[in-house]
DNA sequence: CAAGTACTTTAGAATAATTCCAAAGATGAA
DNA sequence: TTCATCTTTGGAATTATTCTAAAGTACTTG
């Protein structure tokens, strides 16, 4: 073992969320290993497998809260297909259309130049690049 | 008046679709004026306003068929928010997060360099750039 | 630590977008 | 015209997500 497990309760308090049993369990699964792309359903299944009771509605609530708190980023790639991404840094995605897989790629090698300025009255929020590929 | 109205029936036959009354009506609304971003609902409302009876299911069927035939492109920007775009040429989008508006911008001024090669076993299908902005 | 209050979770109902179904209708090849 | 094939349609079904109101938990304060 290389390190102690992070103090998720403290992290949650930091962003203004009470460290409830289910929020901590969700955080553990989400942030315990490398970066991940999950759906509400897939995350729900995973957490239930850890024997901690969580309702699907709670998973949705929590994912939305984590997103709003900046802990997660939401990526929409197809109708009815919304992923939550634990990688909140600058990066883009490959989306494999056949099976719905999502893969990160770093944005530091990618240059996007010549973007027009935002429509008047608006300010830039984020630039999403999705590279769609097929098998 | 500057020109005769396009022969939508012929266009439809060209892509292997029977020129039914509703498909022609939908094509007319979709392609009769400049480029558009429509939802199934909005298009349904528009066509019904022309006094041609169309079921919402038919609008969905037709939009999917037109998309598969390459007459339309589908743009997904938010969960539950799918637009069909009559502009199938190379271009990208501004998405105004507050109100869901979508605006085109040409891709010819934009340079995207340094994209990594697609994951093995896949070939490139399309690159979508969505610039999210806020009011 | 005991209370009390505010915040959370939850099951299930509700919504919204989209697809499916089987029957009725339209299209076009012969 | 005839007939097989393709389309349309209303309504039910599906899927993703949100809402509701009641029951449970976390923090503040005394
Ligand atoms: Mn899912
Ligand atoms: Mn819509
Ligand atoms: Zn990612
Ligand atoms: Zn467009």
Over the stretch A60-78, which tens digit does the pLDDT of each residue have? 999 999 999 999 999 999 9
Domains of chain B as residue ranges with CATH? 8-133 (1.10.10.10)
Provide the H-helix boundaries in B20-125. 21-31, 40-49, 56-68
Q: Give the pLDDT band of residue B109 (cuts 50, 70, 90).
A: confident
- Is the confidence at residue B73, as pLDDT, over 60? yes
Name the percent of chain B lying above pLDDT 90: 81
Distances (CA, A) of B61 to B54, B82, B117: 11, 14, 34
What's the rounded mean pLDDT across residues B80-105?
92
Helix axes B40-49, B21-31, angle to 10 degrees: 110
Query: Tell me, what's the pLDDT at B3?
Result: 64
Nucleotide nearest to A18 (CA to C1'): D26
Reported as half-sphere exposure (CB side, CA atoms, 13 A), residue A29 has a value of: 25
Q: Which nucleotides of D are covered by protein (CB under 7 A)?
A: 6-12, 15-20, 25-27
Q: Which chain A residue lies closest to B84 (C-alpha atoms)?
A: A79
Q: pLDDT tens digit string along A26-45?
A: 999 999 999 999 999 999 99
Query: Tell me, what's the pLDDT at B6?
Result: 84
Name the percent of chain A lying above pLDDT 90: 81
Pick A100 or A84 by higher pLDDT.
A84
Q: pLDDT tens digit string along A114-131?
A: 999 999 999 999 999 999
Q: Which residue has the tokens 């085109």?
A: B104
What's the rounded mean pLDDT across residues B82-110?
92
Reported as half-sphere exposure (CB side, CA atoms, 13 A), residue B114 has a value of: 11
Kindly report the backbone phi and psi dihedral angles of residue A84, in degrees, each rounded to the nearest multiple of 5, phi listed first.
-110, 135
Say whether the CB atom of B21 is under 7 angstroms from strand C: yes
Q: Which chain B residue lies closest to A103 (C-alpha atoms)?
A: B119
List CB-based neighbours of ion ligand 3 within 5 Å: A 85, 87, 104
Is the distance from CB of A93 to CB of A129 less than 8 angstroms? yes
Please tell me whether the overall predicted TM-score, pTM, comes out greater than 0.85 for this model: yes
What's the rounded mean pLDDT across residues A105-122?
90
Query: Tell me, what's the pLDDT at B106?
Result: 85
What's the rounded mean pLDDT across residues B51-73?
97
Residues of B with Cβ-Cβ distance to A119 under 8 angstroms: 94, 96, 103, 133
- Is the confidence at residue B5, as pLDDT, over 80? no
Residues of A with Cβ-Cβ distance to B134 under 8 angstroms: 122-123, 125
């Amino acid at each position: 073992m290389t390190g102690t497990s992070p103090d998720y309760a403290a992290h949650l308090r930091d962003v203004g969320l009470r460290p409830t049993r289910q929020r901590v369990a969700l955080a553990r699964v989400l942030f315990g290993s490398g970066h991940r792309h999950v759906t509400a359903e897939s995350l729900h299944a995973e957490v239930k497998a850890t024997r901690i009771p969580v309702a699907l509605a709670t998973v949705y609530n929590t994912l939305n809260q984590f997103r709003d708190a900046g802990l997660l980023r939401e990526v929409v790639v197809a109708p009815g297909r919304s992923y939550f991404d634990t990688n909140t840094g600058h990066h883009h995605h490959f989306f494999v259309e056949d099976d719905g897989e999502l893969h990160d790629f770093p944005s530091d090698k990618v240059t996007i130049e010549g973007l027009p300025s935002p429509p008047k009255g608006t300010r830039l929020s984020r630039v999403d690049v999705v590279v769609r590929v097929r098998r």
